[in-house]
Amino acid sequence: MGGRPSSPLDKRQQQHLRGQVDTMLRDFLPCSCEQLAASVLRQISRELGPQEPAGCQLMRSKKLPRVREHQGPLTQLWGHPPRWQPIFCVLRGDGRLEWFSHREEYENGGHPLSSVALTGYTVLTSQRDYLCLLDALCPVPSGGHTQEEPEPLLEMPVNFPLFLQHPFRRHLCFSAATGEARRAWRLALQGGIRLRGTVLQRSQAPAARAFLDALRLYRQRRGHFGEDDVTLGSDAEVSAVIRTEDPAGQGRTKKGRGMRGGCLPIPGEVEGPLETCLRGRVDTQLSRVTQKLLSTVEAVLSTVQTLLAQGMDRLSRHLRGSPSSTRLRKEVYSFGEMPWDSELMHACYREAERSQKRLGQLVAPFGFFGTRSLVFGAQDLAQQLMADAVATFLQLADQCLTAALDCTQAAQQLEKVRGRVLKELPEFEGEVLAMGSPALTIEGIYEDIVRGVLLQRIDGELKKALGVSDTSCTLDGCSEAPWDPTGADEETEAQRGTCPRQPGSGAEVQPLCSRPPPGT
């Protein structure tokens, strides 16, 4: 596990990097401005268009997405030379991890030793698998490693390790005191990783939608087609990842722009061969793809419904038992915090994680590399749906409960509210396979044709799968939800020891000892 630490960029490297960034901005900014205008117009059109009757629907939770703050002592492998040292860690509600030399320094408002945004990290809990991962990502050159070299990780084995691995940022190595503490940290860290990763996908702001549309077009012009996990993170973080992609497609960009004058005969020439291709290669796979996506969503929503029903039943039991007002307020508060309780919500998140293998089968026939985004999106959906259902239940309960009711009458009113809320949940099942907004560019004409043909087939498959004959899942009828995978259970994760890699991002990794990327 040897290697040498990375060194700062020299002046020539800095100038080269600055030139690449300037080139990227010159190409990307015009596309971004076009898409921002289109995104604003689409929002105005939706707001001014005819609105469907609201009916009885779940109320939108006013609480912003967050993770529950988690803190506690850990040991970290750091320093020169690296050694295990005690620290005090704090996971903030925005998904940023900070660590201090000791608890008192944190409580007294001191500055942390360091901090990191958890975007793009993967949690591993097996020391052996982490070492194997390092060897796979950063192979040691021939003759550059001997058995006598010290291995800090192996010199002092730890029982409950927590490794945060990133494709091209420095890795973090922690250890908990007990298995229970490690589990709590693992769940909290996974929540922070997901929160940071899906910030763009969750946003309904025109600027966020425009950025994702512009990014898709920008990458297509450079030969990166299909879906992957490169859009996980904030706009600044995603832009940094995009800059590391191979810029070999710049020639294709000029060629694509040169086609503007001759695009108008294109639909008739393309539609026939494309229709034949879709019938032979896509139609045979589409039903299987739909079932894989729906099975993931159905399992997640079923678990949400079970947890929600259990939480509402607990409140009813406490109310029937004539508890003290203090105890009842505590139970109501706990119920309201359910969506942010990583331990309780783990049952929902685990259902999405279990689908990773099934969703991975989309890679071969379709070249789809966005399974992590899909799993993250299913987990976001579970949390948002739980938050909306909890907010709806509490508000309806507040409206129907009065001081004139005794405990039995109040419990009966809660039962009615319970039934009303649970009835709404299945209606969301058909609204979670969101489609992206079409790009408003002439180069996108090929994609428009493909999208038009596919939408007809997707709509038909969803109708059959959901048993709906008169409802169409169109762009305006679907909620825009993000998707993505995480590790599995702690037990299976320790055995897996692998981590997803983003296509086109290269193998630049900064592990514990900052070993250089392969080939340097």
Give the integer Cα–Cα distance in Å for 141 and 45.
59
More confident residue, 52 or 299: 299
What pLDDT does 306 receive?
Answer: 93
Q: What is the mean pLDDT of residues 369-397?
A: 87
Give yes or no for residue 313 having a pLDDT over 70.
yes
Q: Helix, strand or coil for residue 259?
A: coil
Choose from 83-92, 218-227, 497-506 the range with maximum mean pLDDT. Answer: 83-92
More confident residue, 403 or 422: 422
Q: Where residue 108 falls among pLDDT bands split at 50, 70, 90? A: very high
- Contacts made by residues 231-236, CB under 8 angstroms, sequence distance 24+: 231/200, 231/201, 231/373, 232/119, 232/120, 232/197, 232/198, 232/372, 232/373, 232/376, 232/484, 233/119, 233/120, 233/196, 233/197, 233/199, 233/200, 234/119, 234/196, 234/199, 234/200, 235/200, 235/208, 235/211
What pLDDT does 227 receive?
Answer: 66
Q: Where residue 2 falls among pLDDT bands split at 50, 70, 90? A: very low
Give yes or no for residue 506 having a pLDDT over 60.
no
Summarised one tens digit per residue, pLDDT across range 19-34 is 877 888 788 888 888 8
Give the integer Cα–Cα distance in Å for 456 and 282.
12
What pLDDT does 323 receive?
Answer: 64
Summarised one tens digit per residue, pLDDT across range 324-355 is 677 778 888 889 999 999 999 999 999 888 87
More confident residue, 172 or 251: 172
With beta carbons less than 8 A apart as the criterion, state whether 425 and 385 touch.
yes
Q: Whose structure tokens read 């945060």?
A: 164
Give the integer Cα–Cα distance in Å for 242 and 247.
9
Q: What is the mean pLDDT of residues 421-443?
A: 56
Summarised one tens digit per residue, pLDDT across range 35-57 is 888 888 878 877 777 765 554 57
Q: What is the mean pLDDT of residues 127-147?
A: 69
Q: What is the mean pLDDT of residues 395-423?
A: 83
Q: What residues form DSSP beta bridges with 114? A: 99
SS3 percent helix, strand, coil of the chain, rounded to 5, is 55, 10, 35
Give the integer Cα–Cα distance in Å for 191 and 95.
8
DSSP letters spanning 57-117: -PPPP-SPP----EEEEEEEEETTTTEEEEEEEEE-TTSEEEEESSHHHHHTTPPPSEEEE
Give the integer Cα–Cα distance in Å for 284 and 286.
6
User: With a threshold of 0.75, does the pTM exceed it?
Assistant: no
Q: Where residue 148 falls among pLDDT bands split at 50, 70, 90? A: very low
Q: What is the mean pLDDT of residues 111-133?
A: 90
